Structure formats: C-alpha cells, structure tokens
Amino acid sequence: MPTKALVKKEETKLVPVSQEALAVLDGVFTNEGYAKKFLPRISFTSQDKTEESGVGKNKTITVVEAAGTFFTEVKTEDLTEDGKAVFAKEEIGDSVELHIVYERKQLRMYDAATEKFTSSPIYDHPSDIVPIFCDKQEVDRGTPAELQAKYMTKTTMKGKPKSALEEERVLYVIYKGVLYTMNIRGTSMYAFLSYKKSLNPAKLVTVINSEAKTSGQVSWNQMNFTALRPIIVEELQMVVEAVNSIRESVEEEKAFFGKSEQVPVQYAEAKSESDKEFSKW
C-alpha cells in the first residue's frame, strides 16, 4: 500500500462534487478480510505525560507531552535492543484536518504488570475467526466475541463486567496527502460512532480536536469529530484511489488466508511506547 503523497498540495477553487460522483463512496465503511501491509499512523495523547525531578521539597513535575496532542508516527529501519520497531514521531498539533476514508476493527489489550501487548490483526466482521498474539506468538483464536469473553477482568463505571481485550476502531485517514491509520478507543471511539451515524465521513473533510473529560479520579482528553466541508472534485479522486488501495490489500490478504491458516508474524509486531497511553483510561 503506497505511503507516498497521493495528491499534490495546491490551492484550488472549491468545486462542489455532484451527488452522482459522490455515490462511488457509498458503503466504503464495510468489507471483509484482513489488512496485510503496514502504514504510518497518527497517534493521540489522551493524558498528560510527565517527568519528575528532584526530591522532597525540591521535587518538580514537568509536562513533557500535553493531553490532546496529535502525532504522526512512521516506522523506521531501526530496532530497539529487544528487537522492537522504532517509530519516528512528529507532533502535528492539537487539531488535525483530514479525510477519513475507511474503518475497520482490532482487538487490543495492554498488561501494565508485564508491559506486554496482546492484539489481533485488523478485521471487519463479528463472525471473522481471528488470532490474537502476545510476544509475537499466537495465543488464541476465535470470533471477537469469543476472545473477549475469555478476558472479562475489568468493570465498567456502573460495575458491570468488561473485557480487558477491547475492540478498537482503526480509521484509515489521509493527512496532507498521505495515507495513515489511526486507532481510536473508549469515549473517542464512541464520539466517532456518533459522528458517522448520519453521514459518510469519506465524503467530507473532517476536523479532529479534543476536550477534557473527568470521571471520578480519572481525567483524559476525548477526541471530537466535526465536518468541515464536503470534499471537492480533486479530493474525490484522492479518496477513491486510497479506498481502492486498501481494498486491494484486503483482497491480497483474503487470498493468503485461502491458502494457509498461518498468520504472518509481522501481525504480532509490538507497538510503540506511545501506544501504552491507551490503557490508562
């Protein structure tokens, strides 16, 4: 899947897209299969990251990464000492303007005690049989509901059982002409699901920012999704190209699974340190 700029950044007159032309984007938020190729991603800091220095009365706490900040993360050729991928991370502000062109799902869980992730490949349908990995080893396989039922170790704010193996949404977005993925969960995920109820994000330019939220002792920033405007003719071509590229990748993966039950080991590749943020709220 290409990660190069999909269209040149030029100032153009905003030419509305006809409803007939927009019809090619109907239904792009559903498909079946697995994603095979990795893309750069956009991450979000939901809670302040701090550093402590000094002791006693001289102890100070400094915010090194503010809640509500977005970053791009691009995989490099480097590896950490324990063989994990290194991502080049760049701050892009507290508000981003982008195109949301596709939506998929993923199961993920972080164990703070062991500092290990358990996660599935990206999938689409509740009846899909998916594996989950920990330390690059497959540890289980089943439908998403079956797998989640085995990790009912959390409770909701109302005291009801909740799976620690959470379902996230994986958004495929175009930011400044480049295709990225963005994992969203918790209240940010529900904000997105509410946003797309009455509209098709693929037909719009979306602005994502955030607002502070508090529940009991826990504070975090929740993403907000706002439609800026309908896409224009030049953007339609870019979005369609991206959707076709994603669908081609899905078809390649479906063909792979048709020949083998083995899952490529790269699915179990560890996430960057910033991904630990998702376990906190």
pLDDT, tens digit, 9 for 90 and up, residues 8-31: 555 667 878 888 777 777 766 655
One-letter amino acid for residue 43 of the chain: S
Least confident of 39-43, 106-110, 154-158, 172-176: 154-158
Residue ranges of E strands in 58-163: 60-65, 69-79, 85-93, 96-111, 116-119, 130-134, 137-142, 154-155, 161-162
Residue 277: pLDDT band (50, 70, 90) is very low
User: Could you tell me which residue, 160 or 224, shows the higher pLDDT?
Assistant: 224
pLDDT at site 3 = 52
Residue 10 is predicted with a pLDDT of: 57
pTM of the model: 0.78
**Which has the minimum average pLDDT: 59-63, 132-136, 192-196, 260-264?**
260-264
- The whole-number pLDDT of residue 268 equals 43
pLDDT value at position 279? 37
SS3 call for 58: helix
Q: Is the pLDDT of residue 54 over 70?
A: no
Minimum mean pLDDT among 32-41, 89-98, 220-229, 244-253: which range? Answer: 32-41
Token pair in block for residue 237: 């071509």
- What Å distances lie between residue 62 and 46, 69, 206, 210, 249, CA to CA? 17, 16, 32, 22, 43
CA distance 175 to 154: 35
Q: Which residue type sits at 178?
A: V
pLDDT of residue 22: 79
pLDDT of the residue at 274: 41
* Residue 165: pLDDT over 90: yes
Closest CA relative to residue 274, chosen from 80, 65, 133: 65
pLDDT at site 121: 87
pLDDT tier for residue 276 given thresholds of 50, 70 and 90: very low
Estimate to the nearest angstrom the gap between the alpha carbon of 49 and the chain centroid: 20
What Rg do the C-alpha atoms of the chain give, in angstroms? 20
DSSP, collapsed to helix, strand or coil, labels residue 251 as: helix
Residues in CB range of 213: below 8 A, 6 or more apart: 187, 219, 220, 221, 222
What value does the mean pLDDT of the chain take?
A: 82
